């Protein structure tokens, strides 16, 4: 299939220069390619989004989707995957979504190693609510709720997901679509909880293109199975100080997933009334 077939008639309302376009333009060819190769039929793909500029992506892709609410993409995606393990579930969440409002769900999804992919549109600012700090905004960030500058440092989401048990951890950037496509493809094909933090630039409220362009580099000769090295690489940049910023797949591990033990419960039992009666007999 052609990625163009994945378009919809919805008018795109992202700002000019928005980093979300890169994510949209990377995910469509990946979905098309996986369908073409017979690896993931497009009808098996379900996209789940939260609330924020990022979330509009589901209106722009002609695939199954559930446009949910702020912070809650991951539990919905988890339910879909548990309900039907044949589906390939991809979450799109913002940094406010995944790291503030819904951080508990992110930690638990990683801990469970549920077989879904989570792509974070991490622009490090609230866009749709017009410019407040998020959990990954640098200290000193002057937003509309912190005009004097943010007093506290950001979190490093990669380390949080790693510590929680995520089995695929990567970082992308909204400049450099080829790397983004490679990472998305690997993330979707990985069996387990895949996490991709995309440094997605908000051209209107926090334009970091120049900052990132000077600092990002692609991980090379990095073995993602090497947990110690992966952790070291995740710590190379803390989302606050001026370090160089590695991009690519930091960590990858094969492990049992949360859906595994549910697969046996996939058929309805044949004699429901009989089973109910038998259960009730235990209470006589």
Contact pattern from residue 12 through residue 51 relative to other proteins, giving x for each residue in contact according to CB under 8 A and a dash for the rest: -----------------------------x-xx-x-x---
Nearest partner of 170 among 193, 202, 201, 154, judged by Cα: 193
249: contact with other proteins by CB under 8 A: no
Q: Which lies closer to other proteins via its Cβ, residue 79 or residue 140?
A: 79
Query: Which residue, 40 or 155, has its beta carbon nearer to other proteins?
Result: 40
Q: How far apart are CA 116 and CA 98, in angstroms?
A: 14
Nearest to 257 by CA among 115, 88, 75, 91: 115
Nearer to other proteins, 5 or 223 (CB): 5
Closest CB to other proteins among residues 34, 150: 34
- Is residue 161 part of the contact set for other proteins (CB under 8 A)? no
| Residue 272 found at the interface with other proteins (CB under 8 A) | yes
Q: 193, 168 in Cβ contact below 8 A?
A: yes
Q: Report, in this order, helix, strand and coil percent for the chain, each rounded to 5.
A: 40, 15, 45
CA distance 261 to 195: 22
Count of residues engaged in binding other proteins, rule: CB under 8 A: 54
177-189 and 20-36 helices cross at what angle (nearest 10)? Answer: 50
CA gap 132, 126 in Å, rounded = 5
Gap between the Cα atoms of 75 and 81, Å rounded: 10
Q: Where are the beta strands (DSSP E) in 87-241?
A: 88-94, 117-122, 168-173, 194-199, 216-218
- Single out the residue of 82, 160, 169, 201 in contact with other proteins (rule: CB under 8 A): 82
Judged by CB under 8 A, the chain residues 177 through 236 that form the site for other proteins are none
Minimum distance from CB of 96 to other proteins (Å)? 15
Whose Cβ is closer to other proteins: residue 220's or residue 265's? Answer: 265
What is the sign, positive or negative, of the torsion defined by CA atoms of 206, 234, 154, 166?
positive
Residue among 152, 163, 256, 276 that touches other proteins (CB under 8 A): 276
State in angstroms the smallest separation of the CB of 71 from other proteins: 8
Write out the residues near other proteins by the rule CB under 8 A.
8-10, 41, 43-44, 46, 48, 56, 58-59, 62-69, 72, 75-84, 86-87, 104-105, 107-108, 262, 264-269, 272-273, 275-277, 279-284
């Amino acid at each position: 299939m052609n990625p163009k077939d994945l378009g919809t008639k919805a008018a795109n309302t992202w700002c000019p220069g928005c980093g979300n376009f890169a994510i949209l333009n990377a995910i469509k060819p990946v979905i098309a390619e996986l369908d073409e190769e017979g690896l993931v039929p497009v009808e098996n793909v379900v996209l789940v989004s939260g609330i924020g500029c990022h979330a509009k992506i589901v209106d722009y892709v002609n695939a199954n989707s559930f446009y949910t609410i702020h912070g809650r993409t991951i539990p919905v995606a988890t339910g879909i995957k548990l309900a039907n393990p044949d589906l390939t579930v991809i979450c799109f969440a913002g940094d406010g979504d995944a790291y503030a409002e819904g951080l508990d769900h992110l930690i638990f999804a990683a801990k469970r190693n549920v077989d879904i992919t989570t792509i974070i549109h991490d622009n490090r600012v609230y866009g749709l609510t017009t410019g407040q700090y998020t959990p990954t905004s640098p200290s000193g960030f002057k937003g509309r709720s912190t005009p004097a500058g943010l007093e506290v440092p950001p979190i490093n989401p990669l380390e949080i997901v790693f510590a929680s048990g995520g089995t695929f951890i990567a970082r992308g950037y909204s400049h450099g679509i080829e790397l983004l496509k490679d990472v998305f493809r690997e993330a979707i094909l990985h069996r387990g909880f895949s996490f991709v933090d995309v440094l997605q630039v908000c051209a209107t409220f926090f334009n970091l293109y120049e900052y990132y362009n000077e600092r990002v580099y692609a991980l090379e000769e990095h073995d993602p199975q090497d947990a110690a090295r992966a952790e070291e690489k995740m710590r190379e940049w803390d989302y606050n100080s001026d370090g160089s910023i590695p991009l690519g797949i930091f960590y990858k591990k094969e492990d049992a997933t949360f859906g595994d033990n549910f697969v046996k419960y996939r058929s309805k039992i044949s004699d429901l009334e009989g089973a109910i009666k038998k259960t009730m007999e235990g209470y006589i």
